[in-house]
Amino acid sequence: MNKFDVPYKIYLDEKDIPSSWYNVRADMKTKPAPLIHPGTLKPMTFEDMRPIFCDELIKQELDDNTAYIKIPDEILNFYKMYRPSPLTHAVFLEEALGTPAHIFYKFEGNNTSGSHKLNSAIAQAYYAKKQGLKGVTTETGAGQWGTALAMACSFFRLDCKVYMVRVSYEQKPFRREVMRTYGASVTPSPSMETEIGRKINAEHPNTTGSLGCAISEAVEVAASTEGYRYVLGSVLNQVLLHQSIIGLETKKHQARHHHRLCWRRLKPRRFNFTVHGRKTSRRG
């Protein structure tokens, strides 16, 4: 079979969207090290995290045992706007590399935010809304996460405060304005709005900022403002959990792709031949 016979894109139907996220830690023999409290140097508990994170997200963060966590219907309905995402066959990359291997990638850029970040942003915004919060705070570097969260918060009518690394704030005005279009406030970091921001500006007056600065400001505002919590788009277990939808869909793609390959290999062919002067044919 020629590699060009394999479809360029393999699609799933809306009904194929996974109904649960997969928690990989449940199947790990050696569990990941716990988050350490910077003050006590002991593993952080649910109560330690409550001033910063949403309650349900803390439960997901600390859960090392539940393999599958049901995706709420409200999130599934949102996912249907852009999921399932296609599995794409990188035919020309294979040709350029001269490899006999088949290379596939999951394209996660087919949504308004432009990246996979929306998979977790909508989940975190949902749990914040369900808890009855007024809004959330976050940081963003290039702006992909900030854009995704701004879109998710707009959907659930939550306030969204984004602290954007100053150099990106100045270099990426379109990302900045997309977030504002969705209703988010976007502040260059370090700012003069927070204690940590003022301190950094005083010590480094010409700084272009960093993700660490922006995180510090977002956490400070969440911890000091009633009805707000901090959310982020990477690093934590809960984010990995939400992004498992990519792998779960890929497994369904692979099953469907394998079926197609087998069908093509086993598809009966008709052979024409002559027996005792008479033409006949058969499938083989």
| Residue 252 falls inside a structural domain | no
Examine residue 257 and state whether it is found in any structural domain, yes or no. Answer: no
**Residues near 6 by Cβ (< 8 Å), separated by ≥ 6?**
89, 91, 102, 257, 260, 261
* Mean pLDDT within 172-179: 96
- H or E segment and range at residue 200: helix 195-203
Residue 83's domain comprises 3-239
The reported pLDDT for the residue numbered 277 is 52
Average pLDDT of the chain is 90
pLDDT at residue 259, as a whole number: 55
Domain membership flag for residue 77? yes
Is residue 220, in this structure, part of any structural domain at all? yes
Question: Is the pLDDT assigned to residue 271 strictly greater than 60?
Answer: no
Cα–Cα distance measured from residue 277 to residue 284, given in angstroms and rounded to the nearest whole number: 21
- Give the integer Cα–Cα distance in Å for 95 and 181: 42
pLDDT of 24: 96
Would residue 267 count as lying in a domain?
Answer: no
Local structure of residue 220 (DSSP, 8 states): H
| pLDDT digits 0-9 by tens, 35-78 | 999 999 999 999 999 999 999 999 999 999 999 999 999 999 99
Q: Determine, yes or no, domain membership for 279.
A: no
Distance separating the N- and C-terminal Cα atoms of the chain:
17
And the tokens for 137?
A: 């705070």
The CA distance from 191 to 104, in Å, is: 43
Report d(CA 39, CA 50) in Å as an integer.
16
Specify if 261 maps to a domain: no
- Distance, CA of 231 to CA of 76 (rounded, Å): 20
List pLDDT tens digits, range 99-144: 988 888 999 999 989 999 999 999 999 999 999 999 999 999 999 9
Domain count, the chain: 1
Phi first, then psi, for residue 147 (nearest 5°) are -65, -45
Asked whether residue 253 is domain-assigned, the answer is: no
Residue 34 pLDDT exceeds 60: yes
Q: pTM score, two decimals?
A: 0.87
209-227 confidence digits (pLDDT tens): 999 999 999 999 999 999 9
- The band of 2, judged by pLDDT with boundaries at 50, 70 and 90, is low
CATH number at residue 63: 3.40.50.1100
Least confident piece of the model among 18-27, 83-92, 196-205: 83-92
Beta bridge partners of 113: none
pLDDT at 3 over 60: no
Q: Is there a contact between 229 and 136 (Cβ–Cβ < 8 Å)? A: yes
Burial tier of 38 (Cβ tally within 10 Å: 0-12, 13-18, 19+): exposed
Bigger pLDDT: 6 vs 276: 6
Q: How many CB atoms lie within 10 A of CB 132?
A: 7
